[in-house]
Amino acid sequence: MGKKAIKAAGRAQVFKQASEAEVLYAVVFVQLFVAAAAVFFPELLTFDGAWLVVPGFCVGTVALYFLCYFQQVVIEGSFVQVRSTATFFRWRHFDVGDVQGVRRLSVASDAEVQAFIVSFKPAQERSWKRIRLVASTSAGENKGIDAPVMLAFMRAVTCVQPDIKVENLPPGYRGALAPPPPLSAPPAPPSRGKTRKRKQAAAADRANRDRRSKVKL
């Protein structure tokens, strides 16, 4: 099935890991680290070329941060594109109908960064069997688990495959990715045998009351 056939009309949802605020935090952290090193170890800045080492260290740390958290996810209808360091910066294209399962990796439930493994049904035209999605957010009670990228991805998956649920969720999790509670079965209608017995008992009780009233008269 071609891309035009599986794309839905409307605007695509684009999610980028490593926001501007996170990059700013990383730069500030590196600068504070370098300043603390200069205070406690001043001999590090006495040799020639130190003015090149410090900026290079800052740039290298920010680049490493980008490499660890770089991810782009585009969701357009049932068509999904993913690119990250795990895919060696190559785009992975798939339809949510090919998803076989979604599993959360075992990390702390309150961690701001959560990782999910998406496995796929066997297909000859696909050389890879799974991809990794990284979700990060500091908002909300469940933080990374309820990140917008995972909510949008699972919404697209469950629209096509309602039976797929996220595995390995933390115990007691009641967020947006939790499976819906099972529907309670309606009470079974009484069997004919029980209904007949109740009618016979009611008739016998009425007969006993009539007999007692006649005896009193």
Residue 214 confidence (pLDDT):
57
**Residue 15 corresponds to which tokens in the numbers above?**
């999610």
H/E element holding 215? helix 192-216
Binned at pLDDT 50, 70 and 90, residue 94 comes out as very high
Residue 8 confidence (pLDDT):
41
Residue 92 confidence (pLDDT):
93
Task: Give the pLDDT confidence of 180-210 residue by residue, as tens digits.
Answer: 776 666 666 655 556 667 777 777 777 777 6
Beta strands 99-104 and 166-167 are: parallel
Helices marked H in 41-178 = 50-69, 148-160
**Residue 38 corresponds to which tokens in the numbers above?**
């200069």
Q: How far is CA 143 from the centre of its chain?
A: 11
Higher-scoring residue by pLDDT: 80, 46: 80
**Residue 144 corresponds to which tokens in the numbers above?**
């990374």
Give the CATH class of 72-169: mainly beta
Residues 6+ apart with CB under 8 A from 42: none
**Mean pLDDT (the chain, rounded):** 75
Residue 154 confidence (pLDDT):
92
Q: Three-state DSSP class for 207? A: helix
Residue 65 confidence (pLDDT):
67
Taking the C-alpha atoms of residue 134 and residue 115, their distance in angstroms, rounded to an integer, is: 5
Helices marked H in 41-128 = 50-69
Q: Taking the domains of the chain in order of start, what are their residue ranges? A: 18-69, 72-169
E strands in 47-143: 71-76, 79-84, 92-95, 99-104, 113-120, 130-136
Q: What value does the mean pLDDT take over residues 111-127? A: 87
